[in-house]
Amino acid sequence: MSENVFLSDLPVGSSGRIFKIEPCPSESRLKELGFTEGSKVAVLHENMGGSACAYYIKGAVIALRKEESRNIVVREDYYV
3-state secondary structure of 16: strand
Q: What are the tens digits of pLDDT across the range 15-59?
A: 999 999 999 999 999 999 999 999 999 999 999 988 999 999 999
**Domain count of the chain?**
1
Give the CATH number, domain containing residue 24. 2.30.30.90
3-state secondary structure of 17: strand
Long-range contacts of 33-40 (CB under 8 A, 24+ apart): 33/57, 33/62, 34/58, 34/60, 34/62, 35/62, 35/72, 40/15, 40/16, 40/77
Query: Can you give the pTM of this predicted structure?
Result: 0.90
- Domain holding 61, by residue range, is 4-77
